[in-house]
Each structure stands twice: as structure tokens, then as C-alpha cells.
């Protein structure tokens, strides 16, 4: 069973917060370090998906003299 043992020693960097996280079956949030990091990543992904088409339709609906302000935080 040497093969299985090698896997349990793998340590990776969490793509969310850069903390070290175990990349094995005991870490069910892999490749993230915790449930919080995993959830935040999903939220980010969803906002990116739905944010883009929304901004495009908003611009078309507004008359030229009422240009909406770009209040995105970057």
C-alpha cells in the first residue's frame, strides 16, 4: 500500500487564500483549504457569469443623456 501513502502527503496551495491545504481524500474541499474558500470561489464564478450580460442590457436601455455610472469596485 505504498502508493496510497504517497497521496496522503501531498500539500498544495489553496487557489483562494494561498494557504497550504492537503490534497487528499481527507480534504473534501480540495483544492481549497476549507469550505469557506470553496464557497467564495463559487460565488465569484457565478457573479462573473451573470454580471456581464446584465451590464450590457443596462447600457442599451438608458437614454444617452442618462448614462449610468460605472460603480464597479475594482
Q: Which is nearer to Zn ion, 6 or 17 (CB)?
A: 17
Taking the C-alpha atoms of residue 57 and residue 53, their distance in angstroms, rounded to an integer, is 6
Contact track, Zn ion, 3-32, x by CB under 5 A: -----------x-xx-x-------------
Distance of CA 2 to the CA centre of its chain: 34
Q: Which is nearer to Zn ion, 10 or 19 (CB)?
A: 19
Which residues are near Zn ion by CB under 5 A? 14, 16-17, 19, 33, 37
Amino acid at each position: 500500500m505504498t502508493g496510497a501513502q504517497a497521496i496522503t502527503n501531498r500539500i498544495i496551495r489553496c487557489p483562494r487564500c494561498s494557504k497550504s491545504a492537503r490534497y487528499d481524500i481527507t480534504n473534501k474541499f480540495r483544492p481549497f483549504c476549507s469550505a469557506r474558500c470553496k464557497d467564495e470561489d463559487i460565488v465569484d464564478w457565478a457573479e462573473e457569469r451573470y454580471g456581464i450580460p446584465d451590464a450590457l442590457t443596462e447600457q442599451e436601455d438608458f437614454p444617452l443623456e442618462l448614462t449610468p455610472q460605472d460603480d464597479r469596485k475594482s
